[in-house]
Amino acid sequence: MLTILERCRSSSAKRTRRQVLVAGAMGFGGMTLADLLRAEDASGVRSSVKSVINIHLDGGPPQHDTIDPKPDAPEEVRGEFAPIATKVTGLRVSELMPKVAAIADRFAFVRSLVGSAGAHDAFQCQSGFAAKDLQTVGGRPAMGSVVAKLRGTPTDAVPVFVDLLQGRPLVRNSARPGFLGPAFGPFRPDISKMFARELEAGMKGELAARGANHTVQLTLAEGMTTERLHDRTRLLAGFDDTRRDLDASGTMEALDKFNAQALNILTSGKLAAALDLSQESAKVQHRYAPPESSGGGEKFYTSEDGSAAKKLLLARRLVEAGVRCVSVSFSDFDTHSKNFPRMRQLIPVVDHAIAALVTDLEDRGMLGDVAIVVWGEFGRTPKVNAAGGRDHWPEVGPAILAGGGIKGGQVLGATDRNGGKAVSRPVTYQEVFATLYRTLGITSGATTIPDPTGRPQYLLDACEPMRELV
């Protein structure tokens, strides 16, 4: 089946000359990333094809109920969940995370993530910056867009950056290209039929206001064939010759590269094949499908169910096909009420999903080449409110990293007795990004990209990776 894939753009972005773009399933040709890694390993060569899977816990995960339990705190702080031992001596996590606990030596646990902008979206977890930074020239780009700029080529058979975010991060266009412009935005397939995620009424309105181009339509226009698509592209290129000669901004050149890459994606079929979970064996699909009984408790209507773990199977298939950056979200951690019954349902789903992803990548010999980060826009309040919920807490939050050569089996930072303030080794969002860039072979402190005024911008303000992890 052929498909058309249109690159996402912000609703406020100016429309370009045409909105083409193509992806297809005309055969899964060439080597997968796993094949390449195995061949390089046998020859003693290390791969330069590294990837990042960025997992956003939409709404802000509660540090107390995940990786920073406080059993000695007052009852209104420590909550209902007991700490459990892990494979790492002295490290305890919430009883809701037994699968991560069993392989804790693969993870680095950050208990002291600070510097949250307090914004209720995923933009800071995509870029390391607050939305207002460089807003006058279009704002900061997401990491995936930066990697697309630095590492993407018109001959790529798959996009560099694929955004699978749902819920609030999708509505608020968190994975946006900023001043790099729409030619470096993510490819954003609509996965709502694969993984249902009901939106709150207000967010439905926000999403509708962004228009149809905010997501991707995976269907080919009736009567369109590959040959006709090539013919139309050549015709449009001819019409654009004069405009290209007159364009001093470079926009037309960028869009030409975008169109060329899209045609390669269409003819390779790798992206569409990666998005087809039916091609996975029953054994692998079972790994990502937890038992029906897991994750009891109360399911909020925007929350995930057990099938959500397969979002990470989709992410693994994408990086295996050669995608460099994949963003995924799990909803809904915004627990202003009924925190404990809702977390009893939701956290086991995430626990199972990230443990399945890490062990799957490890079994395939890919874990060293795929970095994983799991985090949210902020933590939750130490004190439980009158509705039994935890509110927004930008002061400190949790994060988990694995893969990509990151040294696991350790904890970074500590919080006070009530889990409300970092008291040692605070870690910023930009330090996490510096570490992720390093896993991709990009030195954030020595790399710049020009903004629309021509001024070079460093990828980050704080450029040092976390020394404990690299």
In this predicted structure, which of 45-49, 82-86, 317-321, 454-458 has the lowest mean pLDDT?
45-49
pLDDT category of residue 296 using cuts at 50, 70 and 90: confident
Task: Tokens for 95, please give them.
Answer: 């009883």
**What's residue 463's pLDDT?**
81
Give dist(CA 100, CA 358) in Å, integer. 9
**What's residue 46's pLDDT?**
43
pLDDT tens-place string over residues 63-93: 999 999 999 999 999 999 999 999 999 999 9
**3-state class of 460 per DSSP?**
coil
Instruction: Provide mean pLDDT across the span 441-461.
Output: 96
Give dist(CA 339, CA 384) in Å, integer. 8
Beta-bridge mates of residue 328: 55, 164
**3-state class of 164 per DSSP?**
strand
Phi and psi, residue 85, nearest 5°: -70, 155
Task: Tokens for 390, please give them.
Answer: 């935890």
Is the pLDDT score of 257 beyond 50?
yes
**What's residue 242's pLDDT?**
47
DSSP assignment letter at 140: P
- Please name the amino acid found at residue 304: E
Give dist(CA 106, CA 419) in Å, integer. 24
pLDDT tens-place string over residues 306-332: 899 999 999 999 999 999 999 999 999
CB contact at 8 A, 278 and 324 = no
Q: How many residues does the chain have?
A: 470
pLDDT category of residue 22 using cuts at 50, 70 and 90: very low
Q: What is the mean pLDDT of the chain?
A: 84
Give percent of the chain with pLDDT exceeding 70. Answer: 77
**What's residue 1's pLDDT?**
32
**What's residue 157's pLDDT?**
86
Give dist(CA 85, CA 102) in Å, integer. 9
In this predicted structure, which of 270-274, 357-361, 381-385, 393-397 has the lowest mean pLDDT?
270-274
Q: Is the pTM of this model over 0.75?
A: yes
Buried b (16+ CB within 10 A) or exposed e, 241-279: eeeeeeeeeebbebbebbbbbbbbbbbbbbbbbbbeeee
Is the pLDDT score of 11 beyond 90?
no
Identify the residue with better confidence: 57 or 12.
Answer: 57
Query: Helix 429-439 to helix 143-151 angle, to the nearest 10 degrees?
Result: 30
Task: Tokens for 26, please give them.
Answer: 């005309």
Residue 113's H or E segment, with its range, is strand 107-114
**What's residue 20's pLDDT?**
32
Is the pLDDT score of 95 beyond 60?
yes
Using alpha carbons, select from 440, 271, 321, 369 the residue that is nearest to residue 31. Answer: 321
pLDDT category of residue 155 using cuts at 50, 70 and 90: confident
Give dist(CA 235, CA 346) in Å, integer. 51
pLDDT category of residue 210 using cuts at 50, 70 and 90: confident
Instruction: Provide mean pLDDT across the span 187-214.
Output: 88
Identify the residue with better confidence: 465 or 25.
Answer: 465
DSSP assignment letter at 302: T
How many CA atoms, within 13 angstroms, populate the side-chain half-sphere of residue 188? 27
Instruction: Provide mean pLDDT across the span 18-33.
Output: 36
Buried b (16+ CB within 10 A) or exposed e, 33-67: bbebbeeeeeeeeeeebbbbbbbbbbbbbbbbbbb
**3-state class of 325 per DSSP?**
strand
Segments making up each domain of the chain, as ranges: 51-217+270-458
**What's residue 86's pLDDT?**
98
Using alpha carbons, select from 370, 320, 324 the residue that is nearest to residue 35. Answer: 320
Is the pLDDT score of 369 beyond 60?
yes
Is the pLDDT score of 239 beyond 60?
no
CATH number at 51-217+270-458: 3.40.720
Positive or negative: CA dihedral 123, 128, 132, 137: negative
Is the pLDDT score of 435 beyond 90?
yes
How many CA atoms, within 13 angstroms, populate the side-chain half-sphere of residue 344? 13
Give dist(CA 343, CA 88) in Å, integer. 24
Query: Helix 33-43 to helix 310-321 angle, to the nearest 10 degrees?
Result: 60
Identify the residue with better confidence: 35 or 70.
Answer: 70
pLDDT tens-place string over residues 118-148: 999 999 999 999 999 999 999 999 999 999 9
**What's residue 306's pLDDT?**
84
Beta-bridge mates of residue 335: none
Neighbours of 415 (CB within 10 A): 24
- Please name the amino acid found at residue 213: N
Give dist(CA 215, CA 203) in Å, integer. 15
Pairing of strands 83-85, 92-94: antiparallel
Give dist(CA 144, CA 128) in Å, integer. 12
**What's residue 258's pLDDT?**
62
